[in-house]
Amino acid sequence: MPESIQFFTTGHLNEYGVSLVVDAVRLNRMDELPKKIVRHIEGCDQCKEQILQVTDLTVQQSLDQSTPHPYFDTHKKRSEFPIMWYRAAAVLAVALAGGITYYLLNQQQTSHQIDFTVHPPAIESTQTRTEDFFTATQNNLYADNFVPSPNLDDVIQSDFRSATIEVFSPNNGEFVHPPITFRWEHFDRPMKLKILTNKEITILTSIVTTNSFITTKKFEPGLYYWKLEADDELLYIGNFFVR
Amino acid sequence: MPLPTETLDITLLRNNKHEFILRCQRIIEIVVKHYMKTGMFAPTQFDDTVQTINEELINRLHRIEQNFNGSVLLNTYMNVVIRNICIRIHEKSRTEIKTEPLTDELIPHDHGNIHSLMFQDEYRRLAIVLKLYGAKQSKLKFCFKIYFRMPVTGLDVDSTFDTATGVEREYLLQHFGNTFDDTLEIDNFNILAPMMNKQERNNTTGSSLRRWTLEHLSRVIKLLNGTPPVKTHTKETVKILFEQFSR
Ligand SMILES: [Zn+2]
């Protein structure tokens, strides 16, 4: 399935959009429809009528529920998975860095205590040790960059369901490599795209008028948040990791 | 009881278009018969309509195969496609043929109480229309209840006004929790408006909330009746159906 699914043509639901809502009605999964679709049908009688008519037709027919639904069970799961995943990844990153620090401390103390731990290869140059220490300290610093911002996370958790704009990339919690491409569905007004660190410091602001934005900016490894705003209204907030 | 239809899949469409078309026949039949009942096609047009749909479908199959984005059930999608072909055929011939909705004698229907079946059908349709109001659904239901003078429950208040304090909740239940036949309609909406304003961070009057309710009631009726209208729902029939939601 293409990453960006088009459910609209000329401002109304197209045949896919109507089909998806009918599937949702029949499978009782209206809550899982993209917010953009829900908001459109809320105010559009023309689309409501088409949906009602097709539902009238399909309720007369058997419904095969033996296979997963291509949108609700496949596409949506794929884009939701990272939300759970990124928390795990953040915890893992912190744990790893903590582990490295513990290992270094341990290294320095081993001569004074009975050692039950398995050591790394005995032969190593002082330089390697210094580099290790440097990398470990860096990693420790980076680990701090991976700690989720509770404030922004809260917004993601609460706003994710009511996002006014559908975003195609990056997926929440995705590991990305610069240049990073941000893509979203068409929006009829200019928007402000902001990238924030996990400490909620804005590191990039750009006015966007199309449906994508690419940045070649160098990012330190860490967890980042990004927002789309129009007229000071938050339209979307998501996050991504840079390794 | 839903009629069995064959499951359609994209692999079949790619590998065996002939078989795919064969498997679509049941859907075509259901769609055409459905529109015959609404008077869109005369019973005598059945074979011709099926034939025209098949011709158009054969012409479109390649495009469907190329463009199908795989985001929805192919059966549902084919229903939409076949329905749209029907509408186009109808629009083309609308000026030429005048048809009347089929009378009960002409439509073979299931045994049992036709009225109860129709009622269930219309109840289901109203439920779908209300669902399509999304986030506005609970507001709409609440306003309909006030307009139809149907007592509201604590659950109605809670699902509509999540910002209401205990006092406000009691206030609403005090006014609308039991029968309120002897109050003026506009007074009811005047009582409701401040609560709705608080909920929606809006500043509207009781009379414009009443207008909003009436406007949406007529839109719901129009949707249930179809375009062109093939049913004859009124405020009264919607009220009867709507009362089922409170049971
Ligand atoms: Zn529409």
Same domain, A237 and A156: yes
Taking only the tens place, the pLDDT of each residue in B136-194 is: 999 999 999 999 999 999 999 999 999 899 999 999 999 999 999 999 999 999 999 99
A64 belongs to a structural domain: no
Q: Would the pLDDT of A189 be above 90?
A: no
Q: Who has greater pLDDT, B205 or A65?
A: B205
Distance from first CA to last CA of chain A, Å, rounded? 27
A154 and A231 in one domain?
A: yes
In terms of residue numbers, what domain contains A99? 80-143
Subunit contact A57:B30, Cβ cutoff 8 A: yes
How many CA atoms lie within 13 Å of A67's alpha carbon, on the beta-carbon side? 11
Residue A78 has a pLDDT of 58
Q: Using only C-alpha atoms, what is the Rg of chain A?
A: 24
Same domain for A159 and A96 = no
Q: What pLDDT does A146 receive? A: 83
Residue A18 lies in a domain: yes
Please report whether residue A126 resides in a domain. yes
Average pLDDT over residues A144-151: 80
Q: For residue A226, tell me if it sits in a domain.
A: yes
- The answer to whether residue A63 is domain-embedded is no
Predicted local confidence at residue A183, as pLDDT: 84
pLDDT, one tens digit per residue, over B31-81 is: 999 999 888 889 999 999 999 999 999 999 999 998 888 899 999 999 999
Axis-axis angle for helices B46-67, B17-37 (nearest 10): 130
For residues A162 and A237, membership in a common domain is answered with yes
Q: Judge contact between A235 and A170, C-beta under 8 A.
A: no
On whether both A166 and A236 belong to a single domain, the answer is yes
Of A1, A52, A70, the CB nearest to B129: A52
- Say if residue A163 is in the same domain as residue A237: yes
What pLDDT sits at residue B1? Answer: 63
Contact A136, A104 (CB under 8 A): yes
The whole-number pLDDT of residue B117 equals 67
Q: Percent of chain A having pLDDT more than 70?
A: 67
3-class DSSP state of A101: helix
**Residues A206, A128 share a domain:** no
- Kindly list the residues from chain A whose CB atom is less than 8 angstroms away from the CB atom of residue B241: none
Q: Both A93 and A164 in a single domain? A: no
Q: Do B128 and A58 touch (CB under 8 A)?
A: no
CA-to-CA separations, B197 to B65, B203, B206, B210, in angstroms, rounded:
50, 5, 10, 13
Q: Do A136 and A160 fall within a single domain? A: no
Reported ipTM: 0.84
Average pLDDT taken over every residue of chain A: 74
Structural domain count, chain A: 3
pLDDT at B224 > cutoff 70: yes
Model pLDDT for residues A52-67, shown as the tens digit of each residue: 999 999 998 888 888 8
Q: What angle do CA B109, B117, A22 make, to 5 degrees?
A: 95
Beta-carbon separation of B71 and A1 below 8 A: yes
Residue B112 has pLDDT above 60, yes or no: no
In a domain, A66, yes or no: no
A58: nearest Cα among A32, A24, A33, A7: A24
Rounded distance, CA A76 to CA A80, Å?
6
- A3-31 mean pLDDT: 90
Interface test with B, best of A30, A31, A49 (most B CBs within 10 A): A49
A52 and A30, same structural domain?
Answer: yes
Do residue B73 and residue A69 have CB atoms under 8 angstroms apart? yes
Give A-chain residues touching B31 at CB under 8 angstroms: 57
Q: Residues A88, A121: one domain? A: yes
Chain B residues in contact with A53 by the CB 8 A cut-off are: 83, 226
What average pLDDT does range A109-120 have in this prediction? 36
Residues from chain A contacting residue B134 (CB–CB below 8 Å) = 30, 38-39, 41-42
A70 assigned to some structural domain? no
In this prediction, residue A104 carries a pLDDT of: 47
Q: From residue B181, give the alpha-carbon distance in Å to each of A77, B144, B169, B184, B193.
A: 50, 15, 20, 8, 19
The answer on A212 and A164 residing in a single domain is yes
Q: Which residue's entry shows tokens 């680990």? A: A143
Interchain CB contacts (distance < 8 Å): A and B: 116
Residue of B nearest to A22 (CA): B76
Q: What CATH number should be reported for the domain holding residue A172?
A: 2.60.40.3080
- B72-105, pLDDT tens digit by residue? 999 999 999 999 999 999 988 875 544 454 444 3
pTM: 0.62
